[in-house]
Structure 1
Amino acid sequence: MESVKTLFYMGICLSAWIITAADNLEPQVENVRWVSLDFKTVLTWTSKASDYAYTVLYSSDNNDWTESPDCIQVSESECDLSEQLIPYDRTYTADIRLDDDVRDYEGDPDVFPHTLSPPFNPFKQTNISAAEFTVEAVETKVTVNITDPLTGIHQRGKQLSIRDVFKNDLKYKISYHKSGSTGKRDIITDSSLAEVSGLDAGESYCFMVAAYIPSRARAAQLGAWSEQQCTDGHKNVLQELSLGAWVGAVFILLTVLIIIITVTVLCCRCCQQRNKSLQTSQSSAPV
């Protein structure tokens, strides 16, 4: 009986200790993720802490940690690392450290709680936005002129395009179909200027383009698809007639032809009868 009471009291004490320890736990950073579009890369997170600031460190390929100069003792729950993640084709990991405003940080990374981000490679994982382009039709060919999307990276006063970063890894997928048809065709071009040939003269064709990086994993190869653009068709009146219109036109022509033939035959018969009557009357008249 005494042993049961002892276990009971021990259980109560252990529960109280667990509750007290949970209340004293430091708030943790959660939901850490990378948001990246055209190499503008922002690290975001959530935390229930209200009196804490955040310092973000980053490391590439497990090298030494470096503090992000724009994200030291910040109150926001995000950090723009676009300019720090260079070279682009490396795997980076970020460390978000909670810094208590009421205590001094003495340089020991274990003093404050910190949370690691998932690994991220800008070259292989940044999303690519939709490209703008123009189309120009000449006879049976259409020239597609694509403008490379700009990135969030500036170097030497110049804003880099995705071609500046991907270089020969960047290609474009062009999807097109005849206006009014559901059958689509795709071509891959290495250049931002492509020519689509073998089209039907005078027909209207619709085009869409997307950046294509075949060196990436399949799920990340395609950028966003552009808006659709169509060429102007130049059909003559006969080409624009549908099957029903052709049937109606043929029917009308046949009807008119039948009427003309019928009227002609009737007129001929009337003339023949009139001539016979005239001849009969002339032959029966007295000399």
Structure 2
Amino acid sequence: MRCPQTVLLLLGTLSCWHPSSAQGEKYPTATDIRWSSINLKTILDWSPKPTNYTYTVLIRGKYFKDWKKKCIFTTDTTCDVSDLMKDPKDTYDVRIVSEIRSPDGIEESPYAEGPSFTPYEETIIGKPVIRNFTLNKELNTLTVLIRDTPTPYRFSNNTPKTVRDFFPNDFTYTLFYRKASSTGKKQQSSDTNEIVIKTDKGEDYCFYVQASVPSRKVNRMSQNSDELCTSSDAGGFDIIVLVAVGIGVALIVFIIVLSVILCKRKNRKNEEKSKEEEALNAA
């Protein structure tokens, strides 16, 4: 009889069976793959949310041909790939693999490819921040210092690389300014993070900063920084002085009132004591 051999063959086949390969089962591939990058911090997003499988992100640049893995076996639909994109001028390809944790890793998993991405041309320049400013009334100048925005990358000495470090000859700050009493606007640009303008004597100024990458055709300009005015600090100082004076006056008034009350109480006690002594003497 050949039945025992048939049973053994069937059991051997079942022992090699894996859920991912049953009936050629394939998991859904990623859709709507999107890049978002601000100041060279680059994130990938996609859909849908996985149920009984996971995702692994693969990144490949022109300068390194092998696919590099990121966010391995993740159940999220977002992945920070900044550390794989250290050369902003390189163009990167992406694959998102749909898979399960297979012990043998033999089965080829389905994947979806997203659009290519070149950080140098496509990362958005974030909103700049004015670190401080100085209005010199003797020299009639306004000096504005802008904070260079850090990126996720660092130099060999572990100091952070800024956005301007990645665009050494292709990055500009522009200061837009006006007299506080006027709406007429002027501008002055600089390749450094310090801008100095001439001012009129006795005038206050309001200003904001914009960063730009002049060589770009799209995404050239950043958002505007918050607008500041040279009178704001003085106004703030005046408010602090007024509050301090008010507190001081209130404290003085409180001390005077308390002194008067204590003095009256003491006089009242002395009067009562004198009356008691007079009554005893009369008796």
TM-score by length of 1: 0.65
Change (3 A) 1:74 1:27: same
Post-superposition offset of 1:225: 1.5
Post-superposition offset of 1:84: 0.8
Name the residue aligned to 1:137.
135
Name the residue aligned to 2:57.
56
Change (3 A) 1:83 1:102: closer
Give the Cα–Cα distance (whole angstroms) in 2 for the partners of residues 65 and 94 of structure 1: 12
What are the residue-to-residue correspondences of 1:12-23 with 2, within 5 Å?
none
Q: Once the two structures are superposed, what CA deviation does each residue of 1:210-263 show, in whole Å capped at 9, x if it has no partner?
A: 21110122x311122211111139xxxxxxxxxxxxxxxxxxxxxxxxxxxxxx
Post-superposition offset of 1:151: 0.9
2:141 is matched by which residue type in structure 1? Answer: K
Q: Which residues of structure 1 form unaligned runs of 5+?
A: 1-23, 234-287
Name the residue aligned to 1:77.
77
What are the residue-to-residue correspondences of 1:182-221 with 2, within 5 Å?
182-197=183-198, 199-217=199-217, 219-221=218-220
Whether contact under 8 Å (1:55, 1:67) holds in the other structure is no
Name the residue aligned to 1:222.
221
Q: Once the two structures are superposed, what CA deviation does each residue of 1:56-89 show, in whole Å capped at 9, x if it has no partner?
A: 1112239624122x42222221221111112111
Post-superposition offset of 1:132: 2.2
Post-superposition offset of 1:40: 1.1
Whether contact under 8 Å (2:204, 2:230) holds in the other structure is yes
What are the residue-to-residue correspondences of 1:233-252 with 2, within 5 Å?
none
Matched, 1:119 2:116: yes
Give the Cα–Cα distance (whole angstroms) in 2 for the partners of residues 132 and 26 of structure 1: 46
Change (3 A) 1:62 1:98: farther
Give the Cα–Cα distance (whole angstroms) in 1 for the partners of residues 105 and 154 of structure 2: 33
Post-superposition offset of 1:202: 0.9
* Other structure's SS at 1:176 match: strand
Give the Cα–Cα distance (whole angstroms) in 1 for the partners of residues 87 and 104 of structure 2: 34
1:72 is matched by which residue type in structure 2? Answer: I
TM-score by length of 2: 0.66
Give the Cα–Cα distance (whole angstroms) in 2 for the partners of residues 48 and 60 of structure 1: 27
Q: Once the two structures are superposed, what CA deviation does each residue of 1:3-60 show, in whole Å capped at 9, x if it has no partner?
A: xxxxxxxxxxxxxxxxxxxxx7641211211121211111111114311111111122
Whether contact under 8 Å (1:136, 1:144) holds in the other structure is yes
Whether contact under 8 Å (2:176, 2:209) holds in the other structure is yes
* Other structure's SS at 1:164 match: helix
Identity percentage of aligned residues: 30
* Other structure's SS at 1:54 match: strand
Whether contact under 8 Å (1:57, 1:65) holds in the other structure is no
Whether contact under 8 Å (1:99, 1:105) holds in the other structure is no
Whether contact under 8 Å (1:52, 1:100) holds in the other structure is yes
Q: Give structure 1 regions of 4+ aligned residues with deviation exceeding 4 angstroms.
A: none
2:135 is matched by which residue type in structure 1? Answer: A
Name the residue aligned to 2:46.
45
Name the residue aligned to 2:241.
none
Q: Once the two structures are superposed, what CA deviation does each residue of 1:182-219 show, in whole Å capped at 9, x if it has no partner?
A: 2222222111111112x3211111110121110122x3
Post-superposition offset of 1:163: 2.0
2:227 is matched by which residue type in structure 1? Answer: Q
Q: Which residues of structure 2 form unaligned runs of 5+?
A: 1-24, 233-283
Q: Once the two structures are superposed, what CA deviation does each residue of 1:109-129 show, in whole Å capped at 9, x if it has no partner?
A: xx3221112111111211222
Whether contact under 8 Å (1:51, 1:101) holds in the other structure is no
Change (3 A) 1:86 1:95: same
Change (3 A) 1:62 1:131: closer
Whether contact under 8 Å (2:50, 2:75) holds in the other structure is no
Aligned residues: 204
1:47 is matched by which residue type in structure 2? Answer: P
Give the Cα–Cα distance (whole angstroms) in 2 for the partners of residues 67 and 132 of structure 1: 35
Whether contact under 8 Å (1:41, 1:81) holds in the other structure is yes
